[in-house]
């Protein structure tokens, strides 16, 4: 088990507390394994009727995977630790699948920063997910910012968002709040900060079997998150992000002098040109796939991404050296070819040997 994952069973509920506050609960391999072990143990335990996952800190639910670890072991030989990188993504994506199809209510308290891998461990599927956001929620799938792509099931939950909203989130990597999370369909309930402590009391006092209904009633009386930016700018999002290529999307944004369009364009201008193109292809393909196939596709892409090295350069520039000047390869969108994009989707394994073949 991990020192950063605290588990307990109380009043018919399995409670998971992420406790790595200095790293904003960034997921390590040990944390992924601890989460998986707890969920597997509780899945068939009649004493556990629901699961609650939360953070020990109001700053962040989970900021994603431990990207410093990615950089360290991604630059290592297998003897030096890069095999652990393979384990991390295989086990993380298997955990995402376990959560999506969990047979009991899976209640995620998405307070504070919820990004990347944090989305993967909060996005329970329609049969189990109870996703709660607050005034402090800062949600994003910012992987293109570090030369990666929206993974942890992002190829499924972003591609199944209404209209072009998933494309906007995946290609810009920009952060949204509670109202936008609800509007996109990445959250179920809003609880204002003033009612947060009362929600905690409700969770403690209510037996696990009654938690889903109790939360629905509580949130219904707690007030509305109002209209978010994405709802307000929906027409602009559809006008620009429905285009059939990254170049066309950016050209459309460039022709719009509005503040929203210019912010999106500026964000995309700093992202990896190759990984934006890969991301658009990923979302196009993911829209036709189920969760398991999406995760298998993402697992293929992770291997190809680290072989290429784009994510290693992105993490170096933003986190290690902090020069904020990644040397993307290719450096410009014009130099990205369809052959480069297609190479990321070429399976590294035959189907019978895929590390997620059993999902």
Residues 95-146: tens digit of each pLDDT: 999 999 999 999 999 999 999 999 999 999 999 999 999 999 999 999 999 9
Q: Which one of 74, 117, 124, 286 is the catalytic residue?
A: 117
Task: State how far the Cα of 235 lies from the Cα of 184, in Å rounded to an integer.
Answer: 14
Region 85-94 average pLDDT: 95
Q: Which long-range contacts (CB under 8 A, 24 or more apart) does 21-24 make?
A: 21/55, 21/56, 21/57, 21/59, 21/60, 23/63, 23/66, 24/57, 24/59, 24/60, 24/62, 24/63, 24/112, 24/113
For residue 339, the model assigns a pLDDT of 97
Q: Which one of 143, 188, 233, 313 is the catalytic residue?
A: 143
Contact at 8 Å (CB) between 225 and 180?
no
Q: Which one of 65, 118, 147, 166 is the catalytic residue?
A: 65
Q: Considering only CA atoms, which of 283, 59, 315, 50 is closest in space to residue 151?
A: 283
Confidence of residue 16 (pLDDT cuts 50, 70, 90): very high
Q: Which one of 151, 180, 188, 298 is the catalytic residue?
A: 151
| Residue of 260 and 81 predicted with greater confidence | 260
For residue 79, the model assigns a pLDDT of 67
Active site residue 117: yes
Q: Considering only CA atoms, which of 64, 13, 65, 2 is closest in space to residue 42?
A: 13
Tens of pLDDT along 266-325? 999 999 999 999 999 999 999 999 999 999 999 999 999 999 989 999 999 988 999 999
Tens of pLDDT along 327-351? 999 999 999 999 999 999 999 999 9
Active site residue 65: yes
Q: How far apart are the first and last CA of the chain?
A: 23
């Amino acid at each position: 088990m991990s020192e950063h994952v605290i588990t307990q069973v109380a009043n018919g509920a399995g409670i998971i507390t992420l406790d790595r506050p200095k790293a904003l609960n960034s997921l390590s391999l040990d944390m992924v394994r601890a989460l998986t072990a707890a969920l597997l143990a509780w899945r068939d335990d009649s004493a556990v009727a629901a699961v609650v996952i939360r953070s020990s800190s109001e700053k962040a639910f989970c900021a994603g995977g431990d990207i410093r670890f990615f950089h360290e072991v991604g630059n290592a030989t297998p003897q030096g630790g890069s095999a652990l990188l393979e384990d991390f993504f295989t086990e993380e994506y298997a955990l995402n699948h376990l959560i999506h199809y969990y047979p009991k209510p899976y209640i995620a308290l998405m307070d504070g920063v919820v990004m990347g891998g944090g989305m993967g461990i909060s996005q329970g599927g329609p049969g189990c997910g109870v996703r709660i956001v607050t005034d402090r929620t800062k949600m994003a799938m910012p992987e293109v910012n570090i030369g990666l792509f929206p993974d942890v099931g992002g190829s499924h939950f972003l591609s199944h968002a209404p209209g072009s909203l998933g494309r906007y989130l995946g290609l810009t990597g920009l952060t949204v709040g509670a109202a936008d999370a609800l509007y996109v369909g990445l959250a179920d309930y809003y609880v204002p900060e003033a009612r947060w402590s009362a929600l905690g009391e409700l969770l403690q006092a209510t037996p696990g079997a009654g938690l889903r209904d109790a939360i629905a009633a509580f949130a219904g009386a707690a007030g509305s998150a109002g209209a978010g930016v994405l709802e307000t700018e929906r027409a602009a999002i559809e006008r620009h992000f429905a285009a059939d290529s990254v170049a066309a999307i950016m050209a459309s944004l460039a022709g719009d002098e509005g503040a929203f369009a210019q912010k999106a364009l500026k964000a995309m201008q700093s992202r990896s040109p190759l990984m934006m193109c890969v991301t658009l292809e990923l979302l196009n393909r993911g829209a036709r796939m189920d969760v398991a196939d999406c995760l298998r596709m993402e697992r293929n892409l992770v291997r190809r991404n680290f072989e290429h090295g784009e994510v290693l350069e992105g993490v170096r520039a933003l986190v290690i050296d902090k020069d904020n000047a990644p040397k993307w390869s290719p450096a410009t969108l014009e130099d990205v070819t369809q052959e480069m994009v297609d190479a990321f989707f070429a399976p590294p394994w035959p189907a019978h040997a895929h590390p997620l073949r059993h999902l």
